[in-house]
Every structure is written in structure tokens, then in C-alpha cells.
Amino acid sequence: MKNLEVFINPATNCNAIYIIARNGHKVIDLDRIILCKADRNYTKLLLINEGTEIVLPKSICILESVLIKYQ
């Protein structure tokens, strides 16, 4: 799977995104993302029911171009 690839998560049957972040590889259901915050060339994601931020080494415009199709 490629970084920032959107697919149907078979475990939840929801649209999900595969990301490679500072703290490893993750699969995140799109409906769990509540905030995307720009920080220079990085994007911070805040998820429902998680107290930590996920930091992506991609600018927010790249993430937005992937997610805009799945509003």
C-alpha cells in the first residue's frame, strides 16, 4: 500500500487512509479525523478518542487533495 492511499478498511467497512507517520505506519478511518493542522511542511492530525497528535511529513495541501474526494 502507498502512503496516503484511501481504501475501504475491511475491519470497519469505512473509508480509511494508510499513512506513514513519525511513529510508524497507521490505518485511520476517515470519520475518526476531527482536525488537520498545518505546521510548515508537516500536517498534524487529531483523531476522535485519541489524546495524541499524528504528525505526517506532508504538507496539508497534499493531504487535502487526497481527502477532498471523500467528504
The CA distance from 65 to 61, in Å, is: 6
Q: List pLDDT tens digits, range 13-29.
A: 999 999 988 778 999 99
Cell of 56: 505526517
CA 22 to chain centre: 13
- Which segments in the chain show pLDDT lower than 70? 71
The structural domains of the chain, with segments of one domain joined by +, span 5-70
pLDDT the model gives residue 24? 84
> Topology of domain 5-70, per CATH?
OB fold (Dihydrolipoamide Acetyltransferase, E2P) (2.40.50)
Contact status, residue 34 vs residue 48, Cβ threshold 8 Å: yes
pLDDT the model gives residue 10? 94
pLDDT the model gives residue 14? 94
pLDDT the model gives residue 52? 78
Kindly report the three-state secondary structure assignment for every residue of 26-40: EEEEHHHEEEEEEEC
